[in-house]
Structure formats: structure tokens, C-alpha cells
Amino acid sequence: MSTKNIDLKKYFFVIFLIAFVAMPFYNAYGAAGKIDDLSGNVSIRDKNNIPYKAAKKGDVFDKGYWIKTGSNGWASLALTDGSKITLANNTELEITEYVIGRNKKDGVFTVTQGKLRASVTRLAGERVDYKVKSATAVAGIKGTEFMMMAQGQANVFFGNEGSLGISGNAGTAKQLSADTMVQNTRGYVPVDPVKIEPQTPLHTAKTNFQEITAATPPKDWEISNNLPHIIARWNINYGHYLADAGKYDEALHVFQIALDLTDRPDIRSDARLERGAVYSSFLNNPEAALSEYLLIIEEYPQVAQREVALYNVGRTLYELGFKTQAGIRLIQYKKEYPNGRYLSNVETYLSTLGIKP
């Protein structure tokens, strides 16, 4: 064999060795990871737009796979790098991207809905670029543990360890750290981080979140189902505080998060009343306030807040100069609430309009 052929073989061997070292690698799972444990109704599919099939412990998944839990479902996902994602009930996750290389790992995990806990490992000298995202928010992860809820267009993040950036569609990030909460909705820039104080509803919400994404599934999923309502109710109180502090745009955002988190009529009505008060009292925008009040009347005819909304509709129409429409709404108030709390004010408005009882 000639020296030239030997040199050529050495050349190709070196090229192969360099290419092999530079290639992404996977561990014994042979893919991005596996379902380490599960409980209840858990499904898996290997690409979008095909039916799910029942998952089982030990199932492997890779880029493009989807995993979904049902109303009583829970799943613990072990990634090849040692990171872990725990899915609570009613959660759907796509492994959108996943590449592990030497001293570098990249991944994108897309949540269409639900609640999860992510614990991302990071070795010394290793560059980590993981993202957990919904349609309206992105968590940029370098190595940390956090919890995320994607509910409709709203997103709520709780920090457990480390720090990460949370952004909306605009890309401006807010830092989530241990014992803080960051939230947003509709792709807006997230609200400033809030410290989670002991013995508060927010602390209760975080504790419940930890329970439903713990190493074992909870016995009762009711606490998971109530989480959006608890946080929505807290947001109404927090938004009221922001408005009193003169942070009107942030208050409106927080009230909108409450609306997008919950389907409970009483909480949604309170959020709309608060939004109407900000528009009316602080932003000199009675038209926007009127829209909030009308939505309560139209959407939720049985809620207690309807009386306040109906009175505010009549009052706002009067102040905008729509006297005929104001009279119609004020008469409607008298019929529906003959002993209402605003009755004397209503009669004064009607007298001014020349409408006799």
C-alpha cells in the first residue's frame, strides 16, 4: 500500500472523528427523553395533526412529539441531559426543538395549554438555551426551576430556583427569580415581578402549584382546577393597588389577565368593573368604561355586579350626552332594582331628564 493511500485514510479518519465529536449526541434513551412516570389519562403522538394514542411509562419521545394529559392525567418527563418536566392535568406539550451537543444544548418546548414544572440542569461551562413557550409568552432558560400555567391567552410563572427571563411577543423580558411571580396575557410585555409573601393567596397558589407538579401526582385535582380562579381573584386586588398607585396601564393589564384566566362570572364581572373605574376615574375615557359595563350586563345577567354595571351605564350615557339612551337604562334600573342602592341617584338623573317616576 502506497504512502499516499495511507495518508488519505488518515485524512478521512480525522475528518470523521471531527464530525463525530461535533455531532449532537443522545444518551441511552435514543431520543430527546422518555416518560419517566405517569398517572391517569396520558397520551402521546409523534407528530402534529394525527390522533393521540395512550402513553405508557418508558415511552421515548423526540423532536416533533406531543404529550397530553387528561383531566386526571400527570406525567414526569426525563430529558437526556438530566432535566425534567412535570405535566399537571389538562396539559399539552410539544417537543418543538431539542439538540444536545458538546458544551451546548438547545430546546424549545411549546405549551398549548396547562400547567408544568421545569427543572433544567446546567453543568459548569455549558451553554444552555432552552425555551418554554406558549402562544403569548416565552421563558428563556439557562438552568433553573420554575412553574408555568398557560390558560387561554394568559400566562403565569412562579420561580423556584435560579433566574430566567419572561417575555411576551414584543421581546422585552422581565426577570423571574425564586419566590416571585411574573405574568402576562395577549403577548403584552409581562407585568413587573411580584414577591410572594407568606400567608397570602399568592403563596397558597404557589404551594398548590408545587403540589400538582410534585414527584408524585396529587390525590385530588380540584386544587389544580381552582388555581386560575385563585390567581384571577388575587389579580383584581393587585390591580386595584396598582391603580391607587397611579400605574393605570399596568392595572388594566392585570385586570385583563384576571379576565383571561377565569370563566367565573363573579370574578370576571369584578375585573370589568375595576377596568371601567380606571377608564372613567383616571384615564378620562368614558367610552371604554361604558364598554366594560355593558359587557357585564350582556354576558352575566344573574351576577350581583349587574346592579352596579347598569347604574354606571345610565350615568355614563348621561355624562356623554346621550340623554334618551341614559333615560332608557335608568328606567330599566328602577324596574329591576326598585329598592336598589343607587335609587335616589337614579331618580335625580330622571328628574333632570324630565322623566317622571
Q: So what's the pLDDT on residue 143?
A: 80
Q: Which helix (H) or strand (E) holds 129?
A: strand 127-133
**Lowest-pLDDT range of 100-104, 131-135, 146-150, 222-226:** 100-104
- Nearest to residue 111, comparing CAs of 136, 84, 140? 136
**The listed CATH number (3.30.365.10, 3.90.1150.10, 3.40.50.720, 2.60.120.1440) that belongs to domain 26-221:** 2.60.120.1440
Q: Which residue has the higher pLDDT, 215 or 123?
A: 215
Q: Which residue has the higher pLDDT, 282 or 170?
A: 282
C-alpha cell at 227: 388555581
Q: So what's the pLDDT on residue 288?
A: 98
State yes or no: pLDDT of 124 exceeds 80. no
State yes or no: pLDDT of 23 exceeds 70. no
Do 35 and 73 contact (CB within 8 A), yes or no?
no
Q: How confident is the model at residue 356 (pLDDT cuts 50, 70, 90)?
A: confident
Say whether 261 sits in a helix, a strand or coil: helix
- Nearest to residue 118, comparing CAs of 173, 172, 90, 81? 81
Q: Domain ranges in the chain?
A: 26-221
Which residues pair with residue 145 across a beta bridge? 119, 161
Give the C-alpha separation, 255 to 190, whole Å: 13
Of the chain, the percentage scoring pLDDT greater than 90 comes to: 83
DSSP assignment string, 140-206: EESS-EEEEEEETTEEEEEEEESEEEEE-TT--EEEEETTEEEEEETTPPPPPPEE--TTSHHHHHH
| 280: DSSP letter | H
Q: So what's the pLDDT on residue 129?
A: 85
Averaged pLDDT of the chain = 91
Q: So what's the pLDDT on residue 103?
A: 73
Give the C-alpha separation, 7 to 79, whole Å: 41
Q: How confident is the model at residue 28 (pLDDT cuts 50, 70, 90)?
A: very low
State yes or no: pLDDT of 26 exceeds 50. no
Q: Once rounded to an integer, what is the mean pLDDT over residues 157-172?
A: 93
Q: Once rounded to an integer, what is the mean pLDDT over residues 292-308?
A: 96
**Model confidence, pTM:** 0.89
C-alpha cell at 230: 385563585
Q: Which residue has the higher pLDDT, 145 or 170?
A: 145
C-alpha cell at 256: 385583563
Cα torsion for 265, 269, 275, 276, to the nearest 10°? 150
**pLDDT tens sequence across 244-290:** 999 999 999 999 999 999 999 999 999 999 999 999 999 999 999 99
State yes or no: pLDDT of 24 exceeds 70. no
Q: Once rounded to an integer, what is the mean pLDDT over residues 294-301?
A: 95
State yes or no: pLDDT of 115 exceeds 70. yes
C-alpha cell at 80: 437526556
State yes or no: pLDDT of 25 exceeds 90. no
Q: So what's the pLDDT on residue 19?
A: 44
Q: Once rounded to an integer, what is the mean pLDDT over residues 26-55?
A: 88
